[in-house]
Structure 1
Amino acid sequence: MKVVISEIPRLMFRGDCMVLASIGLFGIAWFSGQSLKVPAGRWRQLIALASCNIVGWNIFAIYGVSMLPSGRAAILGYTMPLWSALLSVWFLNEPLTRRRLIGLVLGMSGMALLIGAEFEKLGSAPIGVLLMIIAAIFWAAGLVIYKADPLPMSISALTAWQALLGGIPMALAGHALESVEWGRISFWPMFGFWYNVFIGLLFCYWAWNKLVHMVPAAVSSLGSLIIPVVGVFSGMIFLKEVPRWQDFAALVLVLAAIASVLLPPRRTA
């Protein structure tokens, strides 16, 4: 993401990606014979989902990322499970079982290790830290809004509508407030742009919504904790960053968190 916004303005980048991805998702749903119609009386909920999952998350995250190292920004963004677990207990009456509580503690401990290693750097960019935490809360709120009363729509159509409703205002604002000469964008930022359209949004965002539909909010949110760990280790591989003990310890904690939630409980004889 940081490579892309080095040459493509932030709002234009995310807004255009969302609109393009929504077109692809609408096409997939249509060719698959799925209904694109929004159920009667559900527009308000759909707009709320788009406002949290697309507008709130992306706007705060894209500006937060620009103020922080990308790996650490991802870690802050993925404090989402903490807010999701709390909101799901309060608003969805989901039980905070012992296994989920253990998973939450283990996962957030892993995040704390990675954040702690960069505490001084984070402290020098309080606005960026705040933006990423707000983004995480928006993401968690969107998850809870959906789980409170799932929309009776196909995942492709649901994802497409969210991307379109959230992407249009961001794209309009971007093109009104920002400018870019598309012909002068270098290879990697342009590659990152289209990667976000086809992989990050068209596929991964669809897959995330599918996961949210299938499992409880606390489970799906905890499963996402592996993403920033992958990001940190990818930086080691592709950016030649030197691994630290905190990175390895965080990986173990996050994997343990996911296992504690997703693995079936042991049956007693």
Structure 2
Amino acid sequence: MKASRHGTLLPLAAVVLLSLIWGYNWVVMKVAISDCGPLLFAALRVWLSVLVLIPLLLVMKRPMAMPPARYVIPFGLLQTTGFVGFALWALEYGGAGRTAVLVYMMPIWLMLMAWQALGERLSGIAWLALALALLGLLAILKPWDFSGNWRGTLLALLAGIFWAASAIWQKRHAPPGQDLFTVTLWQTAIGGLGLALMAGIVDPLTIHWTPAFIGALLYNALPGTALAYFLWAYALQNLPSGIAGMGTLLVPLIGVAAAWLQLGERPGIWESAGMVVIFMALALVSWQHLRSDAREPTPTPQE
């Protein structure tokens, strides 16, 4: 029994640490874009991540050959160019906490896309989660108040939609037997090219190399990418995906708390209510996945 608890506690600790890293990164990125355009920072952090991933794959003796282009190019454009790019762009117009919550509505969009693209039926819990998410979004948007900033909200929602679309693409088009780390390297590099192109069109190519900016780049490349990939892979290998997914609910919560404490971003009444309702919706979606995992036999690790 002690070994069993020990074997569960370590993966759970990995999920908590991962959520802390990713949650606080919303504040790190918000600070960084004061010294650099958001798309330019996105391109820099992605390419620095590639430079970190290459030696990691070599040390791990993973295959380096590029996966099929018809699969990995759209995947990179959706996952890295779309998701990362629009998330950073949204931070230019919106607060770190609010942006984190809106981006992490991804499971709601994924649920709807899987219904249409994969034929996955929606249960009563899923419809309830969708209704709660839309109510929460309505409270955050406050359409009756025309003074709100809609640009940051739209960009954050687009980031979550691109993220969900990349998951659908991965599920439908991933060739069998592809190494996850190899795919990550190539889709990140391809998506980084898209980000560099977007940055060249949209952002002024000016960087203030302050200590805060350099620290933000290093944070994104080392704990935010290299360590995070290992933590996520370890958690998925040792926990049901539903439990791992529920753990990541901490990410937007930590983002909101960190932005409040460090940046003074205090949500208003309507915004706070909307965030709470969206968290409830995401928790329902994660709980549904957890129930599905509990009904399925636990897969035997391949390595």
* TM above 0.5: yes
1:2 is aligned, of 30, 47, 51, to 30
String of CA shifts for 1:154-194, please: whole Å, max 9, x gaps: 2211111111111124235546863335xx53222221121
TM-score calculated relative to the size of structure 1: 0.77
Paired position in structure 1 for 2:16:
none
Distance 1:115 1:228 in 2: 18
Counterpart of 2:10 in structure 1 is none
Cα distance between partner residues in 2 of 1:89 and 1:206:
31
1:83-105 alpha-carbon deviations (Å, 9 max, x no partner): 11111111122333445555555
Tell me if structure 2 keeps the 8 A contact 1:38–1:153: no
Question: What is aligned with 1:234?
Answer: 258
Q: 2:228 corresponds to which residue?
A: 204
How far apart, CA to CA, are the structure 2 residues paired with 1:223 and 1:164?
Answer: 28
Distance across 1 between alignment mates of 2:242 and 2:122: 8
Equivalent runs, 1:80-159 vs 2, <5 Å: 80-101=106-127, 108=133, 112-113=135-136, 116=139, 119=142, 124-151=148-175, 152-159=177-184
| CA drift at 1:82 | 1.7
Larger mean CA deviation between 171-180 and 77-86 belongs to 171-180
**Offset at 1:148?**
1.0
Distance 2:197 2:140 in 1: 39
Distance 2:52 2:45 in 1: 11
Task: Give the structure 2 partner of residue 185 of structure 1.
Answer: 209
Per the alignment, residue 196 of structure 2 pairs with 171
After superposition, the Cα gap between the structure-2 partners of 1:96 and 1:15, relative to the gap in structure 1 and judged at 3 Å, is: same
SS in 2 for 1:83: helix
* Amino acid in structure 2 at the alignment position of 1:116: A
1:147 to 1:218, Cα distance in 2 relative to 1, 3 A: farther
Number of aligned residue pairs: 260
User: Alignment partner of 1:6: what SS?
Assistant: coil
* CA-based RMSD: 3.8
Distance in 1 separating the partners of 2:117 and 2:247:
20
Aligned partner of 1:162 among 187, 202, 209: 187
Could you tell me which runs of 5 or more consecutive residues in structure 1 were left unpaired when the two chains were aligned. none
Deviates more, 1:96-105 or 1:74-83: 96-105
Q: Deviations over 1:92-131 (max 9, x none)?
A: 223334455555556x27xx54872573789621222222
Counterpart residue number, 1:33: 61
SS of residue paired to 1:67: coil
Q: Does 1:18 align with 2:46?
A: yes
Structure 2 contact 109–164 (Cα < 8 Å) conserved: yes
Aligned residue identity for 1:32: M
- 2:23 paired residue number: none
Letter in 2 for 1:141: A
Separation in structure 1 between the aligned mates of residue 159 and residue 179 of structure 2, nearest angstrom: 26
Q: Any idea what SS the aligned residue of 2:122 has?
A: coil
Distance 2:239 2:122 in 1: 14
Could you tell me the TM-score, scaled by structure 2's length? Answer: 0.70
Aligned to 1:59: 85
Check the 8 A contact 2:236/2:244 in 1, yes or no.
yes
Shift of 1:199: 2.5
> Would the alpha carbon gap of residues 93 and 251 (structure 1) be closer, same or farther in structure 2, given more than 3 Å must change?
closer
Offset of residue 236 of structure 1: 3.6
SS at match of 1:156: helix
Determine the C-alpha separation between the residues in 2 that align with 1:102 and 1:175.
Answer: 42
* Aligned mates of 1:258, 1:142 — CA distance in 2: 19
Whole-angstrom CA distance in 2 between matches of 1:162 and 1:115: 34
